[in-house]
Structure 1
Amino acid sequence: MASAIDNVNKKAVASAFSRAATSYDTFAVLQREVGEYLLGRGAYHPGKSVLDAGCGTGYFSRRWRELGKQVTALDLAPGMLAFARQQQAADHYLLADIEHIPLSTASVDISFSSLAMQWCSDLPRALAELHRVTRPGGLILFSTLAEGTLHELGDAWQQVDGERHVNDFLPLMKISSACRHYRHHLESAWQTLTYPDVMTLMRSLKGIGATHLHQGREVGLLSRQRFAALQDAYASLCGQLPLSYHLVYGVIYRD
């Protein structure tokens, strides 16, 4: 399918995020900002039941509960779900894939998925599943990453060894196409983080579990020489290393 990302090894993705469960919240500054904005798009909704699809550590499961909602937390990574459970982040927990949600049709009022759907193999299927489990009158809220994300890191790696070593993300047009069957609203924005050096930048990516490459391998330990080469190749901005994210926010109205 045109809107699919080939060769996503879900087991490897789950392992990478499981390993990052205890460090994730320390590094997830951008993730919290994005999730708060997305949550704000549905906080007014009167529905009581929320599915947090790709819940991670359960940070936004807790935020939804603070708003008086009953929350089901779903994640592909056992380590993340266990961490969320330890934090008593939700009312119910599901170890599952967004593309195969083990909930009955029309069982929640709001489906919320922040910065998880870029790890799906098939975005239209994932959206169809969220649509299926959401009741008429409800909302599907999602954020994801689009083409161009991490381009500075990819460009630097290209100079080092001819490979980009970053994931390919769907073009905005394909994300829009995946939503075309639903009444929806999409918006996109760019956000750039900066780091003092390559080691700090790579540590932040590892800290949020974003080390698995769609091509089926992980960015492994780097030698001092590789770090130095990457540092030299990275285009700095006023002495800082920029890392950009192409963010997409979506609201689907469940008619």
Structure 2
Amino acid sequence: MTQTVNKAAIARAFGRAAQSYNRHAELQRLSGEALFSLARGREQKQVLDAGCGPGWFSKRWRSAGNRVTALDLSPAMLNEARLGDTADAYQLGDIEALPFTDAAFDVCWSNLAVQWCSDLRLALAEMRRVTRPGGQVLFSTLAAGSLNELNQAWQALDLPAPVNRFLSEAQIAEAGSSLGLRLITQTQTLAFPDVLGALRSLKGIGATHLHQGRRDGLLSRHHLSQLAQSWPRDERGFLLSYHLLYGVIDCE
């Protein structure tokens, strides 16, 4: 349940995508709305948005009548959230070492961020630590089985697919087993008009950092043609599927 990650490189990757993020964040909005529906109470709360990105859901929580603290690993993302006046307070920080006192929040929320952590067990323990008795930890993450279309298409190039490995559902459940974690599963499939659209959707949200490093060189037209021939599609277009897990910890 641990992985070696370069936090500075992750922050830079998401920083480069800070201004384009909201234009490509369809998955994040879909998963966030599903996660939001699991909250017991949605007003007059002290909320931490852990891994806030440009602050889409910080603003969502704030508009519902809560006081929101936005936290992100990327200074550029945090600045984008600040420019949008999305929260009441802004904090640069790491989910695995939250810079807050115990029991500081009623809700600790994290939408599609913890998959970038090096130790999920530690990340969940930290979110639980800063949440008050009677509060909730709510998070979404990606699990094994995500982006299978990308993996399948890349086999045509005889190259490793540019995608990180995700923890299995069982591993994610084990990471939160001592915290009373409940998990809900969902598969979301997005469609794009062409291969470049699918790849740009990943680049546009900063999700192109590879923990194992990136191969040199750009994709040629021939490579793109090969990908288009082998990429799974239907009448909607070229597909990208995500295996989503929604986690709920009710704090006693």
- Do both share a fold (TM > 0.5)? yes
Instruction: Work out which of the residue numbers 233, 237, 243 in structure 1 matches 2:234.
Output: 237
Structure 1's unaligned 5+ residue stretches are: none
Secondary structure of 1:153's counterpart equals: helix
- 1:88 and 2:69 aligned: no
Aligned to 2:37: 40
**1: distance between equivalents of 2:55 and 2:132?**
23
- 1:125 and 2:118 aligned: no
**Identity among equivalent pairs (%):** 52
**2: distance between equivalents of 1:214 and 1:185?**
28
Deviation at 1:45, TM superposition (A): 5.1
What stretches of structure 1 move > 4 A for 4+ residues in a row?
none
Please tell me whether the aligned partners of residues 189 and 239 of structure 2 are also in contact (alpha carbons under 8 angstroms): yes
Aligned to 2:17: 20
Aligned to 1:30: 27
Secondary structure of 1:247's counterpart equals: strand
Letter in 1 for 2:112: L
TM-score with structure 1 length normalisation?
Answer: 0.94
Distance 1:120 1:218, change over 3 A: farther
Instruction: Work out which of the residue numbers 28, 42, 49 in structure 2 matches 1:52.
Output: 49
Range with bigger deviation, 216-225 or 24-33: 216-225
Size of the aligned set, in residue pairs, is 252
Aligned to 1:79: 76
Aligned to 1:142: 139
Aligned to 1:69: 66
Structure 1 residues 157-191: Cα deviation after superposition (integer angstroms, max 9, x where no partner): 12212312211000000001111112232110111
**2: distance between equivalents of 1:154 and 1:7?**
21
Letter in 2 for 1:141: L
Structure 1 residues 47-72: Cα deviation after superposition (integer angstroms, max 9, x where no partner): 62000000001011111111111111
Secondary structure of 1:94's counterpart equals: strand
TM-score with structure 2 length normalisation?
Answer: 0.95
Aligned to 1:190: 187
**2: distance between equivalents of 1:193 and 1:77?**
26
Structure 2's unaligned 5+ residue stretches are: none
Instruction: Work out which of the residue numbers 182, 199, 202 in structure 1 matches 2:199.
Output: 202
**1: distance between equivalents of 2:203 and 2:36?**
25
- 1:168 and 2:162 aligned: no
User: Please, what is the CA RMSD of the aligned residues?
Assistant: 1.6
Aligned to 1:156: 153
Structure 1 residues 68-126: Cα deviation after superposition (integer angstroms, max 9, x where no partner): 11111000111100000001111111111100110011111100000001111110000
